[in-house]
Chain A
Amino acid sequence: MKKGLIAFVIFLGALTAFPLIFHDPFTRHTLIMIMLYAAMGIGWNIIGGYTGQVSFGNAAFFGVGAYATAILLANYGISPWVGMLVGCFFSVALAIIVGYPCFRLQGHYFAIATIAVGEIMLLVFTNWGYAGGAVGIYMPILPESFMNFEFHTSKLPYYYIILVIFVAALGVCRLVEGSRLGYYCRAIKEDPDGARSLGINVQRYKMIAFSISAVITSICGTFYAQYVLYIHPTSTMDLMMSIQLCIICLIGGLGKLYGPVIGAFVFIPLTELTRVYLGSEGQGVDLMIYSLLIIILAIMRPQGLWAIFSKGTAK
């Protein structure tokens, strides 16, 4: 435990010092993206990795967070921080509405249902004029400030905000892991019927896990909206994004605290690299690499790359 804490502090220190050493926007942007996806991955991991409920629709929460902020800011001038809270509220509502009927379903039925809900959300937002339809929403450019959650001269403030979000997500996951919720989720993943014989209300705990997942992902959506200052359905609610979250957790390590972190540190740079070096010739190469990794891991060692970093006992 001690060693882990030291390693984490060093890691955190490195992340904090990083942008002070590397000033170029592209490197900073890459790290921002890594932390963003890592945080979302942690969110997915809570429902997918720990509780074993595969969701192919988590991007919907991202979209809700992004759109709540965007609509409130663009149409009513309300601060994005308020928008963040509103986004969380709606995301939890969505999680409950979807979860309540869907969690009664068996594993693959649930997975398909999440795809269906994700696609429905995408369709609705693409055709909803109030939310900008297919064109989306351009965030109004406001004077640079923390209150306004907009910074124009440097990426540094964005970097530290996402760093805080990332560390917070890690913290939440760590808390869950050590708590009754975490133990119950792992029990549900392994043997839901056996879990019920121990007094565990499986439905309720799935919903709690899903709601936490929704909140984390929604906050990331709000951040993204304020970072990129333009959102539209395909960039915020696409099935591909949901799939990417799964990929990150799968290759990094399902149900392990740092799994999504490792996954994001592999995924984002690899995707960027293939794009930069192979260009349009290399489109799809990164997907092939990930998919082969996933298949191999699923067949042989389900712990992901995490197993290489830990003193992995082969299970």
Chain B
Amino acid sequence: MKDMLIIDNVTKRFGGLLANQNVSFSINEGEIIGLIGPNGAGKSTLFNCISCYYNADGGRILFNGADILRKTPEAICQMGIGRTFQLVRIFKQMTVLENIMIGAFLKYAKQGDAAAKAKETANLFGFTEKLALQAGSLTISDQKRLEVARALATEPKILLLDEMMAGLNIQEVRETTDLILKLRGMGLTLVLVEHVMEGIMPIANRVIVLDYGEKIAEGTPEEVVNNEKVIEAYFGKKYIAKRRGHTAPLQ
């Protein structure tokens, strides 16, 4: 389905700070979208606007045609948008199974059904042996995956993943990209805020680049990597000018 999620001129202000400014793009069903940009570009703010932890000050956000700008976070999830958080949030005092069950309860009201759904989801993530472990005792990498599992159990259509690969080693990054591709194979649409380029670039259909709250580029990973504005955003005007001024490559 084309244009499943439409971000239309979204603006978000915090006092004098313009965190998101007229950001516009759309996401089609089944895509893997990368949302990148330097620190402070407004990526997580945008996620928070989409999932309604903040209410955007201007513009529209349309999901399957419905305007979701002023909804509540729980309504967003009920409509089919799941998310994870930049600083991993799981229910540390509960077991792995219980964590996922909380997600499963959205669509499966009875305890038995929710438990079954949770176990099924846990299998996808390789948690079958770890169901009874306390979530707080898992490694950070496992905790992040648990957070995704939990969100997946709500049977969303879109998953917003916020810096899922941060702090992972190369092996873990590869496992994560495999997981994301598997999720896409299951019919999900995924939007990833990322800094780990070797993780997101190989798998994204399209990449959107934010800088200082504005969208500065959009396109395939190859297009974005060679985009002047993007390079400028990451490396700064001075560096670009220096590079242009030298005929020989810098050391």
Identify the A interface with B (CB < 8 A): 178-180, 183-184, 186-187, 190-191, 193-202, 313, 315
Contact = CB atoms under 8 A, between A and B. Distances in A.
Interface stretch (B88-96, B187-195, B232-240): B88-96
Contacts of A196: 53, 72-74, 77
A199 B74 contact: yes
The 6 A-B residue pairs with the shortest CB-CB distance, nearest first, are A199-B77, A196-B73, A199-B106, A194-B89, A180-B105, A199-B78
B102 A183 contact: yes
Contacts of A199: 74, 77-78, 106, 154
A198 B94 contact: no
Contact of A195 (B51, B72, B78, B102): B102
Nearest to B52: A196
B124 to A, nearest CB: 17
Contact of B111 (A179, A193, A197, A198): A179
A175 to B, nearest CB: 10
Given A179-B111, A199-B77, 12 more contacts: A180-B105, A183-B105, A186-B98, A190-B91, A190-B93, A191-B91, A196-B53, A197-B82, A197-B151, A198-B82, A200-B74, A201-B72
A186 B91 CA distance: 9
B105 A202 contact: no
Contacts of A187: 91, 94, 102
B24 interface: no
A82 to B, nearest CB: 33
B106 A186 contact: no
A197 B51 contact: yes
B114 A180 contact: yes
Given A179-B111, A199-B154, A315-B134, A194 B91 contact: yes
A154 to B, nearest CB: 42
B85 interface: yes
A178 B111 contact: yes
A180 B91 contact: no
Given A184-B105, A315-B93, A198 B72 contact: no
Contact of B73 (A180, A183, A193): A193
B109 interface: yes
A199 B106 CA distance: 6
B89 A198 contact: no
Contacts of B109: 180
B103 interface: yes
A215 B114 CA distance: 28
B103 A198 contact: yes
B215 interface: no
A296 B72 CA distance: 39
A197 B77 contact: yes
B74 A201 contact: yes
A229 to B, nearest CB: 43
B77 A198 contact: yes
B151 A198 contact: yes
A180 B98 CA distance: 11
Given A178-B111, A197-B83, A315-B134, A190 B78 contact: no
Contacts of A180: 105, 109-111, 114
B154 A190 contact: no
Nearest to B150: A198
B179 to A, nearest CB: 19
Contacts of B19: none
B101 interface: yes
**Most chain-B CB neighbours within 10 Å: which of A193, A199, A202?**
A199
Contacts of B94: 186-187, 190
A93 to B, nearest CB: 25
B51 to A, nearest CB: 7
A19 B17 CA distance: 71
A200 B107 CA distance: 11
B92 A190 contact: yes
B102 A191 contact: no
A193 to B, nearest CB: 7
A12 B224 CA distance: 71
A187 B72 CA distance: 18
A201 B75 CA distance: 8
Interface string B116-159: 00000000000000000010100000000000001100100000
A299 B93 CA distance: 17
7 contacts: A186-B94, A190-B93, A191-B89, A195-B102, A197-B51, A197-B77, A198-B150
Contact of A183 (B85, B90, B98): B98
B91 A197 contact: no
A277 B154 CA distance: 58
A312 to B, nearest CB: 13
A193 B86 CA distance: 13
Contacts of A183: 98, 101-102, 105, 111, 114
Given A180-B114, A193-B73, A198 B102 contact: yes
Nearest to A183: B102
Contacts of A201: 72, 74
Contact of A202 (B74, B89, B102): B74
Nearest to B79: A199
